[in-house]
A and B are shown apart, each in its own frame.
Chain A
Amino acid sequence: MKKIDFASYIKKYGIFLALVILVVYFTSVSDVFLTPSNLFNVARQVSFLGIAAVGMTFTLLLGGIDLSIGSIISLVNVVCASLMVKNGMSPFAACVISLVMSTILGFLNGWAIANIGIPPIIVTLCAMTIWEGVAYILSKGLPIFGFPASFSVIGQGYLGVVPVPVIIMVFILIIGSVILNKTYFGRYFYAVGGNEDAAFLSGIIVKRVKYLAYTLSGFFAGVAGIVILSRTNSGQALAGKGFEFSVLTAIALGGVSVNGGVGKVFNIVAGVFIIGVLTNGLVIMNVSQYVQLVIKGLVLFAAVAFDMLQKDGKLDFGKRKI
C-alpha cells in the first residue's frame, strides 16, 4: 500500500510541490530571489490577492462566483480616498464607512442571487459593471491623493521586518480558515455547495448561507481595497480592474472546485504564492510582461487540467473504492 500513500500525498500537497519546484528553480537562476527582503516583497505583493481570495472562496464553495470583487475594490478606493481628502474624515472613520459599504454591496449580490434566483455569474457581472461606472462617476476619472500620513501604515508600514499588509493577510487567512473548518456555518458552505437540495432537507436554510457568502466576499474585497489604497497612496477608479480574475486564478490553482463543495484555505495560500513567486521570479529574470501573461495562463491551465484528469481517474494513482 506504499504506492497509494505516495499518491494521496501528491493529490493533497501537489500544489505545494509545485510551489517548492518554482522556488528552487528561481533560486538556482537568481542570487537575489531567495533573500529575506525579496521574500517579504513577494508576500507583500500577494497580500491583496490573499485577502480577496478568502471571500471569493466562500462563493466558489457554493458553486457560485463573485466577479464584482475588482469593481468593489475600485469603488472602495475612490470612496475611502474622497472621504479622507474631500470630506476631511479621519482614516479610521473613512475605513469603517468603506467597509460597511463594501459589505452592503456584497449583501446586495446575495439578495439578487438567493431571493430573485439570478445566476451568480450574471448578478456579479452586473454589479461589476455598475460599481465600476459609479467609481468613475464619483472620481470623474481622476486620481485622488493627499491622505493623512497615518493612513499609509496599512499598506506601507512594517512591524519589525514584516510588512503590515502581510500581517493583515495572515490574519484574514486565519479567519477564513477558522470559519471554514471550525464554525458550523463554514460547514454549511460545503454542504450547500455539494448538494443544495440535500442540504435544505437537512435543515440548512440555503438562502441564508448564500447571503452570508456574498456578504463576506464583499467585506473582504473592501479590506483588500483599503490595503491597496494605502499601498498606492492614490484613489483610482481603475484600482481593482481585472482583479477578480487574478483572484480566480489563485483560487483555482489552490484547488477550489468551480463546481462547488471542494476547497481548503490552506491550499489557496499556495495558489496565491505561486502567482506571487512566478511574477516576482519572472521579473527578476527580466522576462517581458507579455511573456509573463502567457506563462501564467499556461500554469493555470496545467493546474486545473491536472485536477480534472486526476478526478476522472485518467491519472490513476491509487483510486480506491470501498
Chain B
Amino acid sequence: MQNENPILELKNVSKRYPGVVALNNVSLSIKTGEVHALIGENGAGKSTLVKCCSGAIKPSEGKITLNNEEFTDLTPELSEKKGLAVIYQEFNLINELSVAENVFLGRAIRKNGVFLDMKAMVEETRKIFEQLHIKINPNEVVKNLTVGYQQMVEIAKALSLDAKIIFMDEPSASLTTTEVQDLFRVVEKLKKTGVTIIYISHRLEEVFQLCDRITVLRDGESIETLNVKETNQRKLIELMVGREFTETFPPKTKSITDEVVLDVKNLSGNGVNDISFQVKKGEILGFGGLIGAGRTEMAELLFGVESYEKGNILLNQKKLITKNPEVVINQGVAYVSEDRKQKGALLDIDIRENIAISILKKISRFSIVDEKKEDLLAKQYMDQLSIKAPSFKQKVKNLSGGNQQKVVLGKCLSPKPDLIILDEPTRGIDVGAKYEIYKLIIEMVEQGKGVILISSEMEELMGISDRILVLSGGKITGELMREEFSQEKILEYASLNLGE
C-alpha cells in the first residue's frame, strides 16, 4: 500500500524557546503507508517534532503539510480531524472505565441524542479488535489489562477516529517480549490497511525489524533520512551521537575476586521462591527473565522494601538486617529502582540535595547539615559521573533522562556501598548516556564492589555481566557463565517454570 505521495511534510520547521532551539529548520517527508522511524538521543527534538505535527505546540517557523493541505496554525483538534493520532508513552486512558468507553471517550455514540448506546460502542470496538486480530473484551475495565493491551486500546482509539497517520512514542518501552511481538503484528496489519506509522524508539533492533525508512535527529536538526536496507546499527548510532562509536560496551580490566560480598540462601517471599546465589567482589551478576519473573521483587527483599518469609542474607559474612531501606543503606547496600521518575530521583529538589540525601544525617552535627561537606560531595560526584548541568543547584526535573539517572547513581554511591543493585539502569536513556553508565558500573566493580544488574535488554545483560542468572516464576531456572551467553538460552530459561 506504500506510495510515493507524501502524507505528511514538514518544511523548514523550527521551534525556539527562550535560550534554547528545540527544532532547527527541520524538513521531513513521510510517504503514505510507510513505517517511518524517528530516532535520536534524548533532547534531540523528537518529542517537539511530534508536538508540532499534532498541533500541541506551535512552531516558531515553517509549514506542515498534511494530506496536501498546508497548515501554519495546527491545533490538536484540527490534526485529529485530519486523521493524525499520537500514542504517547503515558497513555491517555481512564483506568476505571471499560475498553469500549475509553475508545469512544468524549464522543460516545448516543441513542436519541441523550443516552449512551453501549451496545453500539461495544460492537464498534469489537470490530476494530477483530480487524487487528487482538483478543480484548470491550467490556473489560482498563485497569485490569496489561500494559501491552492498554496500548492496543490506545491504537483502537486512534483507529476509531479514522486515523491515517499514527505517531507512536516509545511504544515498546514498557512491554514484555511477547507484547512487543503483538505490537509488531498490529503495526504490520495497520501498514497493510494503508495507515502510516511514525515510530519513535530507542531500540534500534526494533527499527530494523519494523520500519521502512529512518530519520535521525540530533540537537534539533534532521541529520539524515535513510532506507533501512542501506544502513546498519553502528552507522545509526554514529549519526545519533555525532561521533564515531567503536564499542558498545566498555572493556573491563580487573578480574573477579574470590571474596563473597553477598550470600543469599533459600530466600522466599514477595513472589520469590527459594533463591540462593552469591555475588563476589568485583563481579557483575546479571539477572535475566521476563517481566514479573520476580527480579524486582527479589531486589525489594534485599533492600528492605518488603520483608521475606524464609531464608538468610549475608553481607560480608554478616547477617543483613532488612527492616527498612535506611538500615540496609547503612549496612552498605544501594538500590537503583527501575522506575526513575517515581522511585528513583527526587525531581523537585536539586542535584546536591539528591546526592547527599541518604547520608544527610551523617554529615550533620546537632542535626545541622554541614553544607560545605554537602557541596564537596556534590562537586565530587558531578565530576566523577560527568553530570551535565550548569550547577549543582539545578533541580533534577530540569535534567535529561541520562543525567537524572546519573544523579540517582550518585545518590546511591555517596554512602559508599559494597553492593549495588541496579534495576533497569539504562531504561529510557539515550545511547551516549548508556555508554557512560556502563563505564560507571565497570568502575564500581573495579573498586571491588559487587553489582547485581537486573535488565530486560538482552544486549546490555550479555554485554557487561560476568555471569547471568535467569529467573522465572520467582525461581532461578538457569545460570550462564560469560562464555555460554546467548539470547536463545536466556529466553529458554526465562520461559521455564511458566504456567505451573
Contacts and interface: CB of A to CB of B under 8 A. Distances in A.
Does A pair with B? yes
Interface of A: 1, 3-4, 178, 182-185, 187-188, 190-191, 193-195, 197-205, 261-262, 318-322
Interface residues of chain A: helix, strand, loop or mixed (majority): helix
Interface in B387-423: 389-390, 394, 398-400, 411, 415
18 contacts: A1-B19, A183-B368, A183-B369, A184-B367, A184-B369, A187-B349, A191-B349, A191-B353, A194-B349, A197-B342, A198-B337, A201-B335, A205-B324, A262-B348, A319-B17, A320-B18, A321-B20, A322-B390
Given A183-B364, A184-B360, A190 B349 contact: yes
B320 interface: no
B19 A195 contact: no
Interface in B315-347: 324-326, 328-330, 335, 337, 342-347
A117 to B, nearest CB: 17
Q: How large is the interface on B (under 10, 10 to 19, 20 to 34, 35 or more residues)?
A: 35 or more
Contacts of B400: 322
A241 to B, nearest CB: 35
A198 B346 contact: yes
Contacts of B324: 200, 205
Interface of B: 17-20, 303, 305, 324-326, 328-330, 335, 337, 342-349, 353, 357-358, 360-361, 364, 367-369, 389-390, 394, 398-400, 411, 415
B346 A194 contact: yes
B324 to A, nearest CB: 6
Nearest to A194: B348
Contact of B19 (A191, A199, A200, A320): A320
A251 B385 CA distance: 39
Counting chain B CB atoms within 10 Å of each CB, the highest count among A199, A205, A322 belongs to A322
A320 to B, nearest CB: 5
A26 to B, nearest CB: 36
B358 to A, nearest CB: 4
A198 B18 CA distance: 32
Nearest to A262: B348
Contacts of A188: 360
Nearest to A207: B324
B398 A201 contact: no
Contacts of B20: 320-322
A195 B399 CA distance: 17
A67 to B, nearest CB: 25
A200 B326 CA distance: 8
Contacts of B330: 203
A1 B18 CA distance: 9
Contacts of A191: 346, 349, 353, 357
A318 B329 CA distance: 40
A203 B329 contact: yes
Contacts of B303: 201
Contacts of B369: 182-184, 187
Contact of A202 (B346, B389, B398): B346
B411 to A, nearest CB: 6
Given A203-B325, A321-B17, A183 B347 contact: no
B347 A202 contact: no
A261 B348 contact: yes
A202 B411 contact: yes
Counting chain A CB atoms within 10 Å of each CB, the highest count among B325, B335, B389, B394 belongs to B325
A60 to B, nearest CB: 14
B394 A184 contact: no
